[in-house]
Structure 1
């Protein structure tokens, strides 16, 4: 049991939840609403062009905890709650103390926090935890699009990770409903001000809604909703839909868009088989395009190397020409000097 938790002399807002579930957008909105979320934040990336809004101090702490436990530093795990090594308790406490000494309303966003919610509850019993969630098909599609190496050869692992994070978030919410705000990230697309108002009301936080919307549809979209992916998940991984339904039922702000898994008939089975073959065909098409691009790049490289060799040969030719000209000029000057010297010598020895 840990001792000496941080004193409740400031208000703390922790933003947790599964990766690719709107945690960055949530953090950016709360930052604009008045929550200090760190001075040194993780920068932008192709997958997060607006920024991650992650406090490097908490990010590094969580990575060090996972490393000390011999686990994936990225947090790709199937264990819902982890025991933090005692040697890192003081560091976590000092980090909280520094924030509380300088900020009346502060917090942090870091998805790996979801794996340590019980640890932080002991450290910061007064903290409020904001838990965005997103449909499993949208998260998995986002992970695959980002290209995380952990799922390159084990795509099913993405489903296991989604289940781990969202089960952990749901379990924590059910144990501490008064200290948590569970919501579907899609609600931020239409009503950021309403989200802040509900958060302010539930937790009595001094929040101010951002003047300009921060949601960017180019960054977080749900194009996968219009595909067959959700039905495939329901058919082959029904537990994902069960957890998603439980999140929707428990949430302070669920999405208004409902989704019901269809009951599979024989016709549906044939359709699932067609979808599987279509994915197979599409994957093979992508491989063929990749091979074609690789061939084109190789041919372009060969042309470039040939052009480079031609340029180098031309350079060598002109260098040799200049060198030859310089040598010829030297010999011309030498021969002229010898002739002049001979002539002068001859004139000096001629009898008078």
Structure 2
């Protein structure tokens, strides 16, 4: 995929409960314009930094193929003409934002083929998190059992690796000890102010800290993600 200009839009992708809100919020601190987004939510004290207008579009595309955010499709989805038109109608509002602007919705991780049809210049960055931390967070928020959570986690993160192979996107581990430095490196590559204050990240909001190895069923995938984040 050809390189995009420095002012091209940015998508923050990754599995739900994997630090995508934190990454989007930190990049916003450094100058990424997110537009009108949620700034407070029951399970995100500082908000999930998402524009709710994207949710029904993403949900409709997933539902058309019998999938959902928590029942991911087994392969990439080709969007219909009407779905692309619906996305472009929301994106029209972003024309008034200073560049670069960005967005975050974990569902988009599964749906980027349509996004690239609408925005060929789109740039990506991804957040990853230990599978057991994500499973713990989904248990607390949604009541999911571990097996179900790991299956969902796997589908999203296989998509992350697919787009890593296609675009060379930067992958950041939410629990990396040098998280701030990594985010600033990504910000500089995106044309943001990597030296600006970055108060969004707050360690006290991380309620799932895992030191255990990944379960065997996802160990190879987790190892590949960690390699991508180095």
Provide the TM-score with structure 1 as the length reference. Answer: 0.59
Unaligned runs of 5+ in 2: none
Aligned to 2:33: 36
State the SS of the aligned residue for 1:131: strand
Is the counterpart of residue 136 in structure 1 residue 131 in structure 2?
yes
Equivalent-residue separation in structure 2 for 1:166 and 1:191 (angstroms): 19
RMSD over aligned Cα atoms: 2.5
Aligned to 2:59: 63
Equivalent residue runs for 1:1-352 within 5 Å: 10-39=7-36, 41-72=37-68, 74-146=69-141, 148-149=142-143, 151=144, 155-177=146-168, 180-187=169-176, 190-192=178-180, 194-203=181-190, 205-225=191-211, 230=213, 233-234=215-216, 237=217, 240-251=218-229, 254=230
- Structure-2 change in CA distance of 1:159 and 1:9 (3 Å): closer
Tell me how far 1:107 sits from its aligned partner: 1.1
Give the greater-gyration-radius structure (CA): 1
Equivalent-residue separation in structure 1 for 2:147 and 2:27 (angstroms): 33
Q: Which has the higher helix share?
A: 1
State the SS of the aligned residue for 1:130: strand
State the SS of the aligned residue for 1:15: strand
Tell me how far 1:75 sits from its aligned partner: 4.1
State the SS of the aligned residue for 1:223: coil
Equivalent-residue separation in structure 2 for 1:58 and 1:160 (angstroms): 24
Equivalent-residue separation in structure 2 for 1:65 and 1:30 (angstroms): 28
Q: Deviations over 1:193-219 (max 9, x none)?
A: x2343114434x133444253222232
Tell me how far 1:61 sits from its aligned partner: 1.8
Equivalent-residue separation in structure 1 for 2:42 and 2:62 (angstroms): 25
Equivalent-residue separation in structure 1 for 2:228 and 2:10 (angstroms): 20
Aligned to 1:327: none
- Structure-2 change in CA distance of 1:80 and 1:162 (3 Å): farther
Equivalent-residue separation in structure 2 for 1:136 and 1:191 (angstroms): 18
State the SS of the aligned residue for 2:127: strand
The answer to whether the Cα contact below 8 Å between 2:18 and 2:127 also exists between their aligned partners in 1 is yes
- Structure-2 change in CA distance of 1:163 and 1:9 (3 Å): closer
Equivalent-residue separation in structure 2 for 1:200 and 1:246 (angstroms): 23
